[in-house]
Amino acid sequence: MEDLYLKTLPGTRDLLPGEIGRWQAVEEHARRIFSNYAFLEIRTPIIEATELFARGIGGETDIVGKEMYTFRDQSGRSVTLRPEATASVVRAYIQNTMYRGGGITKLYYIGPMFRHEKKQKGRWRQFYQIGAEILGSDHPAADAEIIEIALHFLQSLGVESKLLLNSVGCPSCRPKYIEKLRSELQKHLPKLCADCNRRAATNTLRVLDCKVENCQPYINELPCITDYLCVECSDHFSRLKTYLEAAGIGYEPAPRLVRGLDYYVRTAFEIVSTELGAQNALAGGGRYDGLSELLGGPPVHAIGFALGLDRLVTLLPEERSAQWQWRPELFIAYMGEPAFNKALEIARELRRLNYACYLDFLPGSLKSQLRLANKLGAKHVLIIGDQELYRQRYALKSLQDSRQWELSFPELVQYLQSARKGSQT
């Protein structure tokens, strides 16, 4: 019988050393960009009380209804692996009274999320998000900044994308729209799919998100929420568009865009890639002014987004990915036990001086060591044999142009220093 425990669970995977360079570079890049926009990192637990997500995301959503990893812990309490981080961030904001001083709070996070979704290309059950949230502002410039940071981040990585923009109204104007939507839907229900029929009764707005081809002609005929916005929502939306235009950000109006989480009011947006297939959403977000109160906190205006790292990493231009692969600056090859001890000493010294060195514990012949150095993409190889040991001068071979010459340890340090400077210019 197959040992199933030797396989990752469906929808999960190992991120192996060969690809981790890309992930680390993207994460580092995110940290730099987010901090330029004055966002600070928050790390919330991966596991939370189930009620937090059931209330926050909405009981009728697919995420809460079908996709959460929920179980009872040893104390009998129902807990859930976080399917997203916004509810957790708001919980942390309330629990730590971060609203106390007034003003705005800007937070970002990077980490794994868990949704038991149907298997499909680009969908994982453990996936990674980078997200940012601004709490404490109802200014449409905050909405514009959230969109801008997401696009800036993608652009700076060389990833092409498109912004889809909508407003989903607020509790004062949305009910009127939903009433209209329901009455229009009544006419088409027998022709619509089972999911549409279920959603028409439970979470009417989500009908607009149906992807079934036969439903599309009817869905395209349904009224648009943007025609039902109250004066305040309409004003917020048009001011947001003015800020986006001033920032030179283009968008595609998407009057049928609804998101899979119930907390959104007013601004809702998605950033899609033209290069991905069906799962083309790279990022999604919007305003969630009522979420804090819904969770039992004070009234707080807030807006945020999250970006799917798994999808982003597949879109990174090849030349950038190669640049992010780990490469030793120096590979140390040695012949014989005394040379091995010297190699250990040199590697130790250089690592303390902050150079990336590779030293194998299974040396083999010089030829096989050089083969490994090439495979690892090392720039230089230091060769230590009996002769070199005796003279305290080592052979340095450049793998870029095959030159070889001799130097002492202090000369080696000097050379590595100038080689590093040269590769930076």
Of 311 and 380, which has the nearer Cβ to ligand HAM? Answer: 311
Q: What is the CA radius of gyration of the chain?
A: 28
Chain centre distance of CA 60? 26
Name the residue whose CB lies closest to ligand HAM.
308
Of 122 and 385, which has the nearer Cβ to ligand HAM? Answer: 122
Nearest of 310, 295, 397 to residue 110 by alpha carbon: 310
Of 207 and 257, which has the nearer Cβ to ligand HAM? Answer: 257
How far apart are CB 102 and ligand HAM at their closest, in Å?
Answer: 22
Of 240 and 261, which has the nearer Cβ to ligand HAM? Answer: 261
User: Would you tell me the crossing angle of helices 17-36 and 140-156 to the nearest 10 degrees?
Assistant: 140
How far apart are CB 75 and ligand HAM at their closest, in Å?
Answer: 28
Nearest of 101, 103, 115, 107 to residue 89 by alpha carbon: 107
Residue type, 248: G
Nearest of 174, 134, 141 to residue 265 by alpha carbon: 174
Neighbours of 321 (CB within 10 A): 14
266: left (phi over 0), alpha (psi -120 to 50) or beta: left
Instruction: Tell me which residues touch ligand HAM (CB under 6 A).
Output: 84, 86, 115, 117, 123-124, 127, 129, 131, 133, 260-261, 281-286, 288, 304-306, 308, 310-311
Give the H or E element holding residue 323.
helix 318-323
- End-to-end CA separation in angstroms for the chain: 57
Of 310 and 411, which has the nearer Cβ to ligand HAM? Answer: 310
Strand locations in 155-275 (E)? 162-167, 252-253, 265-272
How far apart are CB 282 and ligand HAM at their closest, in Å?
Answer: 5
Nearest of 323, 321, 339, 317 to residue 383 by alpha carbon: 339
How far apart are CB 9 and ligand HAM at their closest, in Å?
Answer: 14
Of 63 and 343, which has the nearer Cβ to ligand HAM? Answer: 63
How far apart are CB 118 and ligand HAM at their closest, in Å?
Answer: 9
Of 306 and 384, which has the nearer Cβ to ligand HAM? Answer: 306
**Quick one: DSSP state of residue 274?**
S
Nearest of 97, 140, 147 to residue 304 by alpha carbon: 147
Determine the number of helices (DSSP H) and then strands (DSSP E) in the chain: 16, 16
Of 286 and 328, which has the nearer Cβ to ligand HAM? Answer: 286
Cα angle: 413, vertex 357, 369; to 5 degrees: 115
Q: How far apart are CA 153 and CA 31, in angstroms?
A: 10
How far apart are CB 107 and ligand HAM at their closest, in Å?
Answer: 10
Of 94 and 359, which has the nearer Cβ to ligand HAM? Answer: 94
How far apart are CB 132 and ligand HAM at their closest, in Å?
Answer: 8
Cβ proximity of 405 and 396 under 8 Å: yes
**Which residues make Cβ contacts (< 8 Å) with residue 290, sequence separation at least 6?**
171, 263, 265, 299
How far apart are CB 181 and ligand HAM at their closest, in Å?
Answer: 22
How far apart are CB 114 and ligand HAM at their closest, in Å?
Answer: 9
Q: How far apart are CA 393 and CA 411, in angstroms?
A: 9
How far apart are CB 43 and ligand HAM at their closest, in Å?
Answer: 16
Of 261 and 335, which has the nearer Cβ to ligand HAM? Answer: 261
